[in-house]
Chain A
Amino acid sequence: MSDSHLLRTSLGRCGRIVLAVLAGVGAAGPLSVPATAQVETLLRERTLEYQAARSAFESARDARSAAEVRFTTASLEVENARASGDDARLRRALAAAQAQAGELERLDRRVQEVGEELEAARQAFLSALDDRLAVLYAELEATPSLESRRQIGDLIRDLQTQVTEVESEVDFASQIQLVAMPEVQFDPRDGPEELRLKAQIAESWVDRYDSQLELIDETIEELRERQRRERDFEQFMAGIRRFDDATVPVVAPPPSNPQPDPAQAGVSDSTAVSADGVEVSLEDQIGQLLILRSQVENYREQVRIRARVFRQRLGGITG
């Protein structure tokens, strides 16, 4: 989310409140609220654009996931071909893997592009929702009929729900980081070779999730250590400053420093402000990682079961 979008959204909300207040005053004269029809048209357009952008993003993400499976399959075929000692098969497998790698790279770029487009469409959609809400707030105050006010109130509630939902999708594009293994299902026509390949695919995903879990655990441990260090430091400085112990006798308290010490802002994580103005504490980061960890664990368990089923069926055929 770009900061200009953030600012526009913030101003949109402020503007809404100001309009409502002005409308409440009543005697303030004609309000410069955007024309209803114009705002509604714009909202319809933005809704369609957002839906299209989201659909395009989901398609791109699905296509990338499928390409990743093809690449994994091709890589496994290279390993099998190498193990078999068949040079012709190895050459074919290498060529196929190379082609899949290129395709995967292309789709990675595509996902990134449509992700950015989706974010822009999301912001435009939120802005249009804000404008529409501003109009409705003004209408609500100007409408004498109870029934009409109730209807407008319902509309406002619906739109507010929509705003909350769309805002909650802020990390939509980043969800790509947690990739679920695409469906690789048992097919009654599968022979031993296909079953072996599918089992290998599933097992490779188990390994992948294991690596992710290891990485997440390491990161959590690092964050906890950092959190402990920073809390230690904050506590230490707070203890010294609390009773003015760092102020020697005969020195008046120093003036407020525009750049407070690290324990008060900056070095300490608890006051860190990210580029988009959202304060993310180490506690929050650890919490997010724990959620991610449980998701990865869940995925890993599903894939592990699937790999075992493939192996059992393979054993049934060959045994």
Chain B
Amino acid sequence: MTGRWLAFPILMVMVAAGHTQALEAQIKLRDLVFTGGVAAEAYRGNLPAVTVPVVDETERAAAAVGEFSARGDVLFLNGSGRSLSLAFDGGIRQFAAAGFELRDYAPREWVGSIDVRYVQVLGDLGVLQVLTRVKGRSVEDRPPMPLFIQPGYRNASGTLSFQTRPIRDVRFDVAVGGEISDYRSLDLTPQLDLLDRRTASLELGAEWGSGESTVRFSGGYRAYWYPEQGSFDPDDPFRRDRAVQAGVQWTLRAPLIVQVGLEGIINRSNSDRPEYDALSLSTLLSAPLPGGFGINLFGVLTGKSYFSATEFARLVPGEEADNASVVYLSLTRALAPNLDGALRVGWTRAETDIGSSYFQRYGATLLFHYRPVGR
């Protein structure tokens, strides 16, 4: 229900805010975008996931999807060395799924998030930033695999970060954060509570370069608590993970936007089964094309190797994948001064070591983005 509680007001307020200029006179509305789209999606495989309510024998399913969303950014305070802004994003997505043996499903997602960001310049030392975020989603008529839809949850997080002024062309940063995730369990899916967790993190970074090209090295430590998951250790009954992460990221900002990152994670736990080492490669690209077109690409490839062998399923199915790949590509073009069109294709693949099972998702989406204010 949380997702709807966040999404619904965001959508309604922004739809009702026809006189956005009056709003702009008091606070600065930096961006407001309404998006509508339709998609066709296909799903393959039948990876077992304990967090879904039912199991279906099918290996193939398909869905027609419609979505509507609104997002924006409002600046409340800007100047005298400080700024305060709020960003919101909310949406609804309706599926009409077919191909299951049990019945046809019509899942509906409601999502919403609100970010509040405060930035304070600390003299010649650097910049302090406080970011808080609440996010929620709810799902109705959640289908079985292979049509995987993330379950509903409520999430709140906060980060306090500080980045220094350049010291011999290097900017150092430190961030501490905390997060609470609460999954919404139902009568048929009490196992969703297994995913509830608390997180605390510390990250240190150093960034070289300025303007168009930067390279950032980072290292961090994260602690996870899963209050609903057992560790199989009577003396320490609930699962606790500790992860050390190190990464490097290169970013180019003009004339293209390019970001390539490599991150390694060593995850250790008081439970044997989720101890692993992982490597993740991510790529972002945004570039102009002839004819007023633009192209955007997002890709992530993750691989894992486990620290110790076990004779049963390593993870709570529905918790983590062994290998996962996500690729999204979109072609965009301005159709009018305030209207953009985009054709997006996506591919997702995830697998676990449980019988070499896997899941794949293919999708093609046609989207229209409308900005009622500005160009």
Binding site for A on B (CB under 8 A): 30-31, 33, 35, 47, 49, 67, 69, 71, 73, 75, 78-83, 85, 89, 91, 93, 109, 111, 115, 117, 119-124, 127, 131, 133, 137, 145, 148, 150, 153, 155, 157-159, 161, 173, 175-177, 179, 181, 195, 197, 199, 201, 203, 205, 216, 218, 220, 222, 224, 251, 253-254, 257, 259, 284, 286-288, 294, 296, 298, 300, 315, 317-321, 324, 326, 328, 330, 332, 334, 340, 342, 344, 346, 348-350, 352, 359, 367, 369, 374-375
A238 interfacial contact with B, CB 8 Å: yes
Question: Complex formed: what's the CA distance from A141 to B257 in Å?
Answer: 55
Q: A237-B284, A249-B47 are in contact. List 8 more A-B contacts (CB 8 A).
A: A233-B296, A238-B71, A246-B298, A249-B49, A250-B315, A255-B157, A259-B216, A273-B119
Q: How many residues of A contact B (CB 8 A)?
A: 57
A14 shortest CB reach to chain B, Å: 10
Q: Is the CB of B321 within 8 A of A251?
A: yes
User: Given A7-B121, A238-B71, A270-B30, A232 and B85 touching (CB < 8 A)?
Assistant: no
A-B contact pairs, 27 of them (CB 8 A): A9-B81, A10-B81, A10-B82, A226-B254, A228-B294, A232-B332, A235-B342, A236-B296, A242-B69, A243-B93, A243-B137, A244-B111, A245-B348, A246-B300, A246-B328, A250-B352, A252-B197, A253-B181, A258-B159, A259-B161, A259-B175, A273-B83, A273-B119, A275-B121, A277-B121, A278-B78, A279-B83
Residues of B within 8 A of A243 (CB): 67, 91, 93, 109, 111, 137, 150
Check A6 against B81 for contact (C-beta < 8 Å): yes
Contact with B203, one of A4, A13, A229, A259 (Cβ below 8 angstroms): A259
**A233–B340 CA distance with the chains assembled, in angstroms:** 12
Contact B374 A283 (CB under 8 A): yes
Give chain A interface residues in 191-249, CB to chain B under 8 Å. Answer: 224-233, 235-240, 242-249
- Closest Cβ of chain A: how far from B123's Cβ, in Å? 5
**Does B296 contact A232, Cβ atoms closer than 8 Å?**
yes
A119 CA to B348 CA, complexed, in Å: 56
A228-B334, A246-B326, A249-B49 are contacts. A3–B179 as well, Cβ < 8 Å?
no
Docked CA distance A303–B375 (Å): 33
Distance in angstroms between the alpha carbons of A237 and B328 in the assembled complex: 9
Return chain B residues, CB-CB under 8 Å to A259.
161, 173, 175, 203, 205, 216, 218
Chain A residues near B334 (CB-CB < 8 A): 228
Task: Tell me the bound Cα distance from A13 to B80 in angstroms.
Answer: 10
| Residue among A227, A252, A279 facing the most chain B CB atoms (10 A cut-off) | A252
Chain A: which residue is nearest B285 at the CB level? A233
Could you tell me the distance between the alpha carbons of A251 and B119 in the complex, rounded to whole angstroms? 32
Interface residue from B80, B220, B324 paired with A10 (Cβ < 8 Å):
B80
Q: Is the CB of B320 within 8 A of A252?
A: yes
Report the separation of the CA atoms of residues A283 and B324 in the bound assembly, to the nearest whole angstrom: 38
Bound CA–CA A278/B145 (angstroms): 48
Within the complex, the shortest CB–CB distance from A166 to chain B, in Å, comes to: 13
CA distance A227 to B35 in the complex (A): 18
- Nearest chain B residue, comparing its CB with the CB of A269: B253
How far apart are B14's CB and chain A's nearest CB, in angstroms? 14
A261 within 8 A of B: yes
Cα distance A255–B340 when bound, in Å?
32
Instruction: Establish whether residues B216 and A233, one from each chain, have CB atoms under 8 Å apart when the complex forms.
Output: no
Contacts of B342 in A (CB 8 A): 232, 235-236, 239
Query: Is B177 within 8 A of A258, CB to CB?
Result: yes
A145 within 8 A of B: no
Question: In the complex, how many angstroms separate the beta carbon of B334 from the nearest chain A beta carbon?
Answer: 7
Q: Which residues of A contact B332 (CB under 8 A)?
A: 232, 235-236
Residues of B within 8 A of A242 (CB): 69, 71, 89, 91, 111
In the complex, are the beta carbons of B286 and A236 less than 8 A apart? yes
